[in-house]
A and B are shown apart, each in its own frame.
Chain A
Amino acid sequence: MHMNIIEIENLSHRFPDGTLGIDGINLTIQEGTFVVISGQNGSGKTTLLRHLNGLLLPDRGTVRLSGVSVSKDLVKARQIVGMVFQDSDSQIIGETVYDDVAFGPENLCLDRSEIKRRVYDALKAVGLTGLAEQRPHLLSGGEKRRLAIAGVLSMKPRVIVFDEPFSNLDYPGIRQLLEQVLSLHKAGRTIVVATHELEKVITHADHLVIMKDGTVVRDGLPDEMVKGVEAFGVREPYNSRPGMEIRSWLN
């Protein structure tokens, strides 16, 4: 029933200075699932994510998006996999919110009317319609994060990847972002979230991947795995401890 949208086979990447970023990763992600990738600092989460849209290319192994190798068509890969980075400030490109969201579609050489439609759809989806003419640098932290999501949505990706999406957000900001992510998931997109703050997303995930030292050490259903995560340097969600039911951050 589900098809594999992402297939990673024996993927390794060594940085120019000799550091082995990731080593021999095998992973498949099904279309429409909500995947959480966790692991301590330096475990290789960011390095893995950057292979999904060809920002980094493998030294060994392959990454395929619905059967097609990423390195074969980078533009296509970047269109399929939208990436929201940790540092929202450095991904703002346009001078106004509108221009920033239009940046992606402009690169795809779409025509003006289509771009306009996509920009307004994306802004509506993240609730920033009223701020279209605002300068991005003046937005709040949460709004900047949502702007980054809109910038990716306007390219109509099938997969959206979030690298540490909760960093620098306050409690309402986190809840709002989480709702946003869930509604994108409900709309049928595949969601991949890399975070070490498991408790914020774990109740909503279908698939949990734990990384350590550049390798995947656990891969499976969250409920079954959440107990053992502390062995890999990830804090166990506090309410998964005995006698407590894991609750969503949303209620």
Chain B
Amino acid sequence: MAELTAFRFRTGASLLHKLDVRFKLGFLVLISLAGLKAAPLALCVITFVLIAVIIDTRLPIKVILKELRYFLILLLFVFIARILTTPGSTLIQIMAVSVTREGIYDGSLVCWRLVIIITLGLLFVSTTRTSEIKAAVEWLLIPFPFFQGKRVATMMSLVMRFMPLILDQAKETADAQRARCVENRKNPLYRLRKFAIPVIRRIFESADKLAVAMEARCYSENRTDPWLSSGLKDWVALFVVICLCAMIILI
């Protein structure tokens, strides 16, 4: 069930796929920062741009929404918490708690920004190979000699490589335990212990196997890395993104 992770690379030939990772990383940071300050009108602009980009990259939106359903629930909680805790002019009064106009406004804004940031991350990860991210991190760490860029980058790409594996194994273990009626046990601590120990053991075992397989294929930190090349379209995209950010901040 490795396909059940929304945050992963998807092959494609869209504009985002073709842009240089370093630029994409820059765009991600710039738009996220600008988005934190954005007013509703600016948020609308970002949203329209993102929708256009999503259509261009052909992300399977329905599947992704399904995979992110827990995140959507979390978002709902954030929204409700905002509504109930923001003081202002009362709209509805239910016993001691009151729903305020400011609360609804604030809550929607916060959730909107969160959705935008998640979408940005999703677009970045979906159109960038881990090996490219790794190369970009190495490149970014060149000016800092005390960081071992290659090592940090390797570590990161391994973590990314392992995420689906860990999720898979957790799910498999959970299923196996459910098949043996673990749900009859009401004590959550008991269940946590019985769940975590085998999962962690299996993760270590597969990490070990993976390490051996990598060693068998001559793994070394000194290897051919992907080409990082920037062209005209990257600079054009940068210009567009900077204009967009300026507009967001100024609106």
Contacts and interface: CB of A to CB of B under 8 A. Distances in A.
A90 interface: yes
A155 B218 contact: yes
B195 interface: no
A91 B210 contact: yes
Contacts of B223: 106-109
B207 to A, nearest CB: 9
B11 interface: yes
A155 B217 CA distance: 8
Interface residues on A, range: 20 to 34
Contact of A95 (B9, B216, B225, B227): B9
A106 B213 contact: no
A107 B220 contact: yes
B222 interface: yes
A93 interface: yes
Contacts of B216: 53, 55, 78, 82-83, 85, 91
The listed residue with most A CB atoms (<10 A of its CB), out of B11, B210, B224, is: B224
Contact of B218 (A78, A90, A94): A78
A221 interface: no
A231 interface: no
Interface in A40-79: 53, 55, 75, 78-79
A152 B11 CA distance: 24
Contact of B3 (A75, A90, A99, A137): A137
B217 A137 contact: no
Given A85-B209, A93-B210, A99-B129, A138 B224 contact: no
B209 A95 contact: no
A110 interface: yes
Nearest to B216: A83
A75 B225 CA distance: 19
Nearest to A78: B218
A111 B222 CA distance: 13
A75 B11 contact: no
A155 B218 CA distance: 9
Contact of A93 (B11, B214, B220): B214
B49 interface: no
B217 A90 contact: no
The listed residue with most A CB atoms (<10 A of its CB), out of B206, B218, B223, is: B218
B2 interface: yes
Contacts of B227: 112
Interface in B174-228: 206, 209-210, 212-220, 222-225, 227
A112 B225 CA distance: 9
Contact of A104 (B11, B131, B217, B222): B217
A206 interface: no
A48 to B, nearest CB: 15
A10 to B, nearest CB: 24
Contacts of B11: 96, 133
Contacts of A32: none
A55 B215 CA distance: 7
A107 B220 CA distance: 6
Given A90-B210, A115-B224, A133-B11, A107 B217 contact: yes
Contacts of A120: none
B218 A91 contact: no
A155 B214 CA distance: 13
Nearest to B226: A112
Given A95-B9, A112-B224, A55 B218 contact: no
A93 B2 contact: no
A85 B224 contact: no
11 contacts: A75-B220, A78-B216, A85-B209, A93-B161, A93-B213, A99-B131, A103-B219, A104-B218, A105-B224, A106-B225, A107-B220
Q: Which 10 A-B pairs have the closest CB atoms?
A: A91-B213, A137-B2, A90-B209, A107-B218, A133-B11, A104-B217, A106-B224, A106-B223, A83-B216, A78-B218
Given A95-B130, A108-B218, 13 more contacts: A55-B216, A75-B218, A85-B212, A94-B131, A103-B214, A104-B217, A106-B223, A106-B224, A107-B220, A115-B224, A135-B3, A152-B217, A155-B217
